[in-house]
Structure 1
Amino acid sequence: MSEPTPKLLRALQGEPQDRPPIWFMRQAGRSLPEYRALRAKAPDFIAFCLHPEMAAEATLQPMRRFPMDGAIVFADILLIPLALGQKVWFEAGEGPKLEPLPPIESLRDQIEASTGRLSAVGETLSRVRAELEPDRALIGFAGAPWTVATYMLEGRGSQREEARAFAYAEPEKLDALLDVLVEATARYLVMQAKAGAQALKLFESWAEGLSEEVFERIVVRPHAAIVEKVRAAGVTAPIIGFPRGAGAQVENYAEAVPVNGIALDTQATAALGRRLQAQGRCIQGALDNLLLRQGGPALDARVEQLLAQWGDGPWIFNLGHGVMPDTPIEHIARTVGRVTGKPVRT
């Protein structure tokens, strides 16, 4: 007897279901005490991400607590610049730091070797897939080129004004950097699929504030190129695109990028989601992570509203951004229980 197709994958195939599948961005870690205890054993965050045994444990921890339909591999979007030869580290209380951008030619020369340097992520996926129940999907991911480029250019997390100015001042140099990231990202995602990822996600965390022309050049074009390269490599796993903050340009993105699912952020309207669903496109999102942290009647009401407006699917219940570190576990459990119909004990 063949194994059941996970509910999450059926949603990404456009299949309406009795209830939406559910998983949360950044569900692996952050809000769980067992994650914090595990994190304390690693010398630094990068070492944690590249330690397959520990990363697999972080991936599986929320799956043991909650009846989530998908597990997302524990990793970080800045592993690709690290693999391309740009030094990356995390400072407590400040977040990621990167050394000045190396020459583009130097980065280009590292593309072929970059995937091998991230083989630990593949091992993490293989470990998780071996332990995860067959009816629960395993999700791999990468940061999208523009978002990763903002960190590579600015050397830190910021308001991205410098990177946006660079997009206007040095368009050819930015395009060359994005081309390197397209190739490295596509190879990375192919490796993840071969290691056991059943769905893949592109996180464009900083898609906001871009004019239509720039959005098409630095978000749409690279995403479409990555999908084309992944498919050319024989990978059939569904792909979710997340142009966070794109607002009205989400529909342009959906029209131009052949992803299977469109992740929507908190500002997405009910009408926008329904239009995408009417086109047969699976949508994902868009519960406010701040509301999940806040809890109470407002959270319950919003969950019910989302279920009513998009529940006929195809739709994956998720957040518009990642779980916040101080989100009470009881709020996650209550929301997951309401969506799945399975009481969750904390």
Structure 2
Amino acid sequence: MSETPRLLRVLSGETLDRPPVWFMRQAGRSLPEYRALRSRAKDFMDLAFNPEMAAEVTLQPVRRFPMDAAIVFSDILVIPLALGQDVWFEAGEGPRMGALPPIEQLRDAVEGSTARLANVGETLARVRAELEPERALIGFAGAPWTVATYMLEGRGSQREAARAYAYRHPEKLDALLDVLVDATARYLIMQARAGAQVLKLFESWAENLAEDVFERIVVGPHARIIAQVRAAGVDAPFIGFPRGCGALVESYAARVPVNAVALDTQASAAMGRRIQAGGRAIQGALDNLLLATGGPALDARVEQLLEQWSGGPYIFNLGHGVMPDTPIDHIARVVERVTGKPANALAAE
């Protein structure tokens, strides 16, 4: 059997006997071993920036389930933190951000930002040293528009204020996105050199954008990041995830040089096949709420996804991240159906 990870083979365009499987937010969230480790950290960022603990969280799900890939445990908001904006997490409420620094200050901070994220590189190196060669290691970053929404609004929200800012102050938003493009490219280059074999851009808030705005603040920045990463000699494949963009995902697939497009829950079978026919792998789009709910509807949807997309390069995954209350046996059942391998009952002992 080839030791080349299934995920890398699909990202190179292969159609396999079964798709590789991993889940967004599989590191942490629903596992009791994660909650036990999380209780030992001062706060979320303390855990994310502790290479020993973050590596352990990254490895926990692949010890328990026969996933084909691990994704580094981190957060999309490490970039603004590295650029000098205050970031913290309120228990039960999510991230909070301090005042947005002046654009000149942010721009001056780009060069040193990667050094401030060196702990993430150490986490990746630790995981790659322990991970089996047939399992891929994924690095990631929040995409510029999504990160900008948090930086502008100071918290997670409906993003209406950030969208209004995009209309009222296009030059200022473009300047902020340019800073984030440069910082994100540097961060991803560092991750690849530390051991990440796949790089993913999470555009978590791509919904409700007009086509021209989507082109300017999503498509353009993603393409520029990939160009900078390639110019640095990094050839790790990219997965792009413009969540919630609806039919615009096909334009994204045609215009952004990613190797795969992650599809959210609303993606149709026909849309996914058109993207495959256009030369891109696809990933997704199992509803994370259905994974948490379980039952016959979950079994039926897994079978449907496998049937409709396994004729081309396909990665089995969710349309959003694992929910914290997802029963472990639901994850195990789905992963076993895809891989033919049972979960490791002793993994948490």
TM over 0.5: yes
In the alignment, is residue 161 of structure 1 matched against residue 160 of structure 2?
yes
- Superposed CA deviations along residues 83-106 of structure 1, whole A, max 9, x for unmatched, are 000000001011100001110000
User: What letter corresponds to residue 72 of structure 1 in structure 2?
Assistant: I
Structure 2 SS opposite 1:126: helix
| Deviation, structure 1 residue 313 | 2.3
1:284 and 2:283 are equivalent in the alignment: yes
Name the counterpart of 2:102.
103
Q: What SS does the aligned partner of 1:268 have?
A: coil
Structure 1 spans left out of the alignment, 5+ residues? none
2:247 counterpart SS class: helix
Per-residue CA shift, 1:54-100, capped at 9, x if unaligned? 00000000000000001000000000000000000001011100001
**5+ long unaligned stretches in structure 2:** none
User: Partners of 1:278 and 1:224 in 2: how far apart?
Assistant: 21
Tell me, yes or no, if the aligned pair for 1:71 and 1:138 is still in contact at 8 Å.
yes
Give the match for residue 256 of structure 2: 257
Q: Which residue of 1 aligns with 2:265?
A: 266
Cα offset, 1:3, TM superposition: 7.0
SS at match of 2:261: strand
- 1:54-93 aligned at under 5 Å gives the runs 54-93=53-92
| Letter in structure 2 aligned against 1:337 | E
In structure 1, how many angstroms separate the alpha carbons of the residues matched to 2:277 and 2:221?
26
Residues 20-75 of structure 1 show CA distances to partners (whole Å, capped at 9, x for unaligned) of: 00000000001000000000111011111000000000000000000000100000
Cα deviation 1:154-187 (Å, max 9, x = unaligned): 0001000000000000000000000000000000
In the alignment of these two chains, the number of paired residues is 345
Distance 1:162 1:213 in 2: 18
Quote how far apart the aligned CAs of 1:4 are.
1.9
Whole-Å separation in 2 of the counterparts to 1:270 and 1:327: 25
Does residue 224 of structure 2 align to residue 230 of structure 1?
no
Task: Name 1:177's counterpart in structure 2.
Answer: 176
Counterpart contact for 1:139–1:200, Cα < 8 Å: yes
Q: TM-score, normalised by structure 2?
A: 0.98
| Whole-Å separation in 1 of the counterparts to 2:201 and 2:246 | 17
Give the 3-state SS of the residue equivalent to 1:247 in structure 2.
coil
Q: CA deviation at 1:345?
A: 4.9
SS in 2 for 1:135: coil
Q: Does the Cα contact within 8 Å between 1:242 and 1:264 map onto a contact in 2?
A: yes
| 1:50 and 2:49 aligned | yes
CA distance in 1, matches of 2:279, 2:308: 16
2:76 maps to a residue whose letter is: I
- In the alignment, the residues of structure 2 paired with residue 329 and residue 75 of structure 1 have an alpha-carbon distance, to the nearest angstrom, of 22
Letter in 1 for 2:90: E
Give 1:50's aligned amino acid: F
Distance 2:35 2:143 in 1: 27
Structure 2 residue aligned with 1:195? 194
- What's the TM-score, normalizing by structure 1? 0.99
Aligned-partner Cα distance in 2 for 1:248–1:339: 27
Q: Distance in 2 between matches of 1:337 and 1:157?
A: 34
When the two chains are superposed, the root-mean-square deviation of aligned CA atoms in Å is 0.9
User: Which residue in 1 is equivalent to 2:149?
Assistant: 150
Looking at structure 2, the residues matched to 116 and 336 of structure 1 have their Cα atoms a distance apart, in angstroms, of 37
Q: Tell me the amino acid that sits aligned with residue 181 of structure 1.
A: L
The answer on whether the counterparts of 2:66 and 2:342 sit within 8 Å (CA) in structure 1 is no
Give the Å deviation of 1:202.
Answer: 0.1
Q: CA deviation at 1:16?
A: 0.6
Identical amino acids, percent of aligned pairs: 77
Matched, 1:248 2:247: yes
Amino acid at match of 2:248: Q
2:136–2:198 Cα contact (<8 Å) kept: yes
**Deviation digits for residues 238-285 of structure 1, max 9, x if unmatched?**
000000001000011111100001000000000000001112210000
Amino acid aligned to 1:333 = A
C-alpha distance after superposition, 1:82-135 (max 9, x if no partner)? 000000000101110000111000000000000000000000000000000000
